[in-house]
Structure 1
Amino acid sequence: MLFGAVDVGSACVRAGLFAPDGRLLARASRGFSLIPGPDGQAGHDFAEIWQGVADALAEARRMAGAAPSQLRALAFDATCSLVVDAPGFAPDVIAWHDHRALAEAAELGRIAHEVVARAGGSVSPEMQTPKLMWLARRRPETWAALRGIRDLCDQLAWRATGIEARSLCAAAAKWPWLPDRGGWQRDLMRRVGIDGFPRPGKVLAPGDRIGCLSERGAAELGLDRDTVVAAGLIDAFAGALGAAPDMPALIAGTSNCVMARDVPRRPGLWGPYPGAILSGEAVTEGGQSATGAVLEAIRRLYPGPQTHDAILARIARAPDGRAGDLPEDLHVLPDFKGNRAPFADPLMRGVIHGLPLDRDIPALDRLYWRAAVGIALGTRQVIGHMGLQPHALAMAGGQARAGLMRQLYADTTGAEIHWQPEDAVLRGSAIAAAAPLMGGIRAARAAFARPVQVTRPDPGRRAARERDWRIFLRMQQHRDEIAGM
């Protein structure tokens, strides 16, 4: 008996196969395209994503030597991208980081409503509600012809099963749906003109059974019809579920998200979202937009092919023998795609101080590292804004795979970093997949628990990171002063 997990990020699909004891047996990935557009628009082609899902699952099965009949259950996690099923609307996936709905988000943020309060009091254009408003107002012909409109994780499950259902995780965190206030907030939806979109089917908690694969889904995925599909999660929430329990989780991938329970409401924090991961618990998210995307943009500046692993390996071999301690007169505020927390300003932009004209590999390595330091400092600020003083953070996501990055976050936040080497995001989706067959999501989480690696702060680097922190705060003050001019 095996459990399948599919994670759809910002640029690739990853599929993993897990044993009942939580061992990751195989993992495969397939890339897909980003389709840019004007005015902050960005999209994907769902058909390309779905083909990537099928190919990655097939490759993972091949690597594990697993027959289709061995895969008993499957769950999907994904970015909170919006899939628009309507004739002629292309690209049919509005990417999570698409900012076309800036005006609608600002308008929504001025309304006194619990949906707005749980979005931090200043609604991000990355949420689904302002994107729905944009569609209804700017594309009325599309709005009138909608066959369906779903979060990406829900679209994947629907394509696999043919059954309409929504993940409580996505509905509570991104849509005008409140689990403890009667569900769909029709008063707000009527007020902003979006009450008419199709929303059939139940809203299911992560790990609840949706149903088995449809004939079409089974054929497209190369699996048996009796494979169970469970309700999934947004990717960051899946990472929090799969990471070390009983501590805040830092999901550091395309964006950075700090997920924690029992966090008081503050501006710029998203939540609390009851039941978004586990029933009986409410999770709050403090985030930074496009952090991994900043590092990816720098990687693309190199004169030849480079991988993130290769760049970080060079940085770790710094000539003075102190990994990552490159000269520190270069400083970066990483808000190139706006700021979620603590400022809740999607129009805020990044700042680089001390940038020379050099574009050789050592200079780009230095820029890469100092951008990473700026991102880690932003994470420290988010943690403080959430009122947390954690002794330990569970870390997941692509940035966590590098030991140098885990050390950076430990040194910058002062917390131990607990890392699950076998991919916490895929593990979270596998836990959701296993839940219907293992007595529920908590039982599946316990069964899937694996040893973690612990990275402790290095006292020798504390002075450098504290200097960086003071400069980081002063640069933010300067940015505010300049904006005021």
Structure 2
Amino acid sequence: MTTTTTSSSSYAIGIDVGTGSVRCMIFDDKWSPVVQCQKPIRTFHSSSAPLEYEQSSADIWEAICYCVRKCLELGSFTSEQIGCIRSIGFDATCSLVVVDEKYEPVSVSLSGNDEQNIIMWLDHRAHAEAAIINSSSDEVLKNFGGKISLEMQPGKLMWLKRNLSKEQWARSKHFFDLPDYLHFRATEQFDRSFCSCVCKLCYRSSESKHGWDEKFWSKFDLNDLMENQSEKLGQLVRKPFSKSDTDILSKKAAGELGLPQGIHVGSPLIDAYAGALGGLACKSPIPDTHLSERLVIVAGTSSCFMACSEKAVFVPGVWGPHYNVLIPSLWLSEGGQSAAGKSIDHIIQTHPAYNELQELAKEKNTNTFNVLNDILNNLQKKYKVANVSLLSGDLHMTIDFHGNRSPLSDPELGAAMTGLRFDTSLNNLAIQYLAVLQAVAYDSQHIIEAMTKAGHHFRVVQICGGLARIPLLTQILADVIQMPVYVSDATIDCVLLGSAICGQLIADNAHQVEDLLNGIACPIEIYKPDKNMIDFHKDKYEIYRLLQKTEIEGRKRMSKYCQA
């Protein structure tokens, strides 16, 4: 998107720091996208340490500055239009940033390279530490489905203290969840957000009280994090969209970004939460649907299932309920798939016909997904089946390549597949692609079942994020869960929209937020369920669950031989 700016009374900027890139989008006063830019960011990963993934805060900030300046250039912003930019909002992955007393990077790597000062969200080095925390049965765990994930920060902080040199740990004076770090870089203020601290750092929050739980941290020899009124983790933790005179762009950051000093900097959000906010700004296909009746699936490399509720709903294996982390005065539950999009990529890219697929996509000047969809359509016509999903009746798989986040909460679970044959053709690749899309949908059904059984009630489901641009997946999900599923208009990126909204939004209660979101009401596309597919997907879903149970039982049975 590189359009020239049109007349607008004001502009809002949304910044999204994803797993592999930084994205920036500028919106006009009607919340229509004006211009977008994207830049890759570096990941440090070695086959010698396969569970460890690291990034650089300096590299990320440089990429943000590049994207903002490039957007202004691509949009041909005049100095007068730049002066009409009113706000900037940040979202990012829940990665752990470490800096010293002068706010310079401190290495999280055994290499000691200070450039590597971020432990990424998908880093699984803290398996043993997370297990120790979970074995404590601490009361804090109740708000994380009974277990914290090894992707959350407590286990990673414990790993750092146990494995880094004493010098490195002593140098580590400030620990930020990445969204909060970006807010700090923009404002030079040390405020932290409820979103990051409650959801990823076990900050306690309820209708009656909130604060750091010193007893929790002291159980794991991390009581030094509570020194000086919890300075290392954050002395001031703020509710979403709360008003503060310090939420303004600093002179230094303004110069780096090419923006006016003093514009409003919004409450930072974890990327999935920004996606949920942007998703709720889309018009619901069912009138008068309350926020608590809408499930937003933010689907990309991983997927997050975001559900609001007026009362606390405890779901085994689902993170939360967390209070005041997205919508003021509402609780939020977060189910998740550790590897949704990544599983789709893995199935496609490891198939023997992948190179042939790439060549065909290049020849047709299109992407690989379009080629696979065309092959499936041709196979449907050839075999005269009423629905394309019927082509995969003999092929079944799960997507637990990176463990199961929800609702089994089993980081050791592996993926399974049955029905393989000596077939390396493009047609077979297309069928495997279909099967993995179905597996993503069946795993989604498993999560939705658990959330519904615990007390959530959904009338409609939305997908946003990268996987929302695979229409076949959206239709399969609608057919599996037998509910309408909708996606935003192709021009709208819900994550960047949510980030931009949080840059401007100041609200005290859920009604104020809902009124603003209803006023935006982005256009949508609706996928209605096919009732003729109920029995087929019911049977395949039961096989999906059977494969998971077989994997769990097999690992349990063989564990006595694998103690080493």
TM-score between the two structures when normalised by the length of structure 2: 0.81
1:186 positional shift: 1.0
Matched, 1:220 2:246: no
- Aligned counterparts, 1:294-443, within 5 A: 294-301=343-350, 302-303=354-355, 304=358, 307=367, 309-311=369-371, 313-314=373-374, 317-321=377-381, 322-387=387-452, 388=456, 390-421=458-489, 422-436=492-506, 441-443=513-515
Q: Which residue of 2 aligns with 1:481?
A: 553
Alignment partner of 2:417: what SS? strand
Alignment RMSD (CA, Å): 2.3
Partners of 1:137 and 1:438 lie apart in 2 by: 41
Q: Which residue of 2 aligns with 1:121?
A: 146
- Between 342-351 and 203-212, report the one with greater CA deviation: 203-212
Partners of 1:468 and 1:29 lie apart in 2 by: 39
Matched, 1:166 2:192: yes
- Aligned counterparts, 1:243-322, within 5 A: 243-244=279-280, 245=291, 246-262=293-309, 264-301=313-350, 302-303=354-355, 304=358, 307=367, 309-311=369-371, 313-314=373-374, 317-321=377-381, 322=387
TM-score between the two structures when normalised by the length of structure 1: 0.93
Aligned mate of 2:212, from 166, 175, 184:
184
CA contact (8 A) 1:299 1:308 kept: no
1:410 positional shift: 0.6
Partners of 1:420 and 1:53 lie apart in 2 by: 25
Consecutive unaligned residues of structure 1, counting only runs of 5 or more, are none
- Between 402-411 and 101-110, report the one with greater CA deviation: 402-411
Task: State the one-letter code of the partner of 1:232.
Answer: P
Aligned mate of 1:84, from 85, 93, 98:
98
Alignment partner of 1:43: what SS? strand
Cα deviation digits, residues 26-62 of structure 1 (max 9, x gap): 2222222322241511112222222222222233333
Alignment partner of 1:196: what SS? helix
CA contact (8 A) 2:303 2:336 kept: yes
- Between 71-80 and 254-263, report the one with greater CA deviation: 254-263
- Between 73-82 and 221-230, report the one with greater CA deviation: 221-230
- Which has more radius of gyration? 2
- Between 381-390 and 429-438, report the one with greater CA deviation: 429-438
Partners of 1:287 and 1:346 lie apart in 2 by: 12
1:442 positional shift: 4.6
- Between 173-182 and 62-71, report the one with greater CA deviation: 62-71
Change (3 A) 1:212 1:257: same
CA contact (8 A) 2:438 2:473 kept: no
Partners of 1:315 and 1:196 lie apart in 2 by: 59
Partners of 1:308 and 1:413 lie apart in 2 by: 27
1:84 positional shift: 1.7
In the alignment of these two chains, the number of paired residues is: 485
Alignment partner of 1:231: what SS? coil
Q: Which residue of 2 aligns with 1:107?
A: 132
Consecutive unaligned residues of structure 2, counting only runs of 5 or more, are 1-9, 100-104, 108-113, 226-231, 281-290, 362-366, 382-386, 558-564
Change (3 A) 1:227 1:441: farther
1:112 positional shift: 3.0
Task: State the one-letter code of the partner of 1:374.
Answer: A
Partners of 2:436 and 2:264 lie apart in 1 by: 43
CA contact (8 A) 2:403 2:410 kept: yes
Change (3 A) 1:84 1:288: same
Partners of 1:454 and 1:316 lie apart in 2 by: 22
Alignment partner of 1:276: what SS? coil
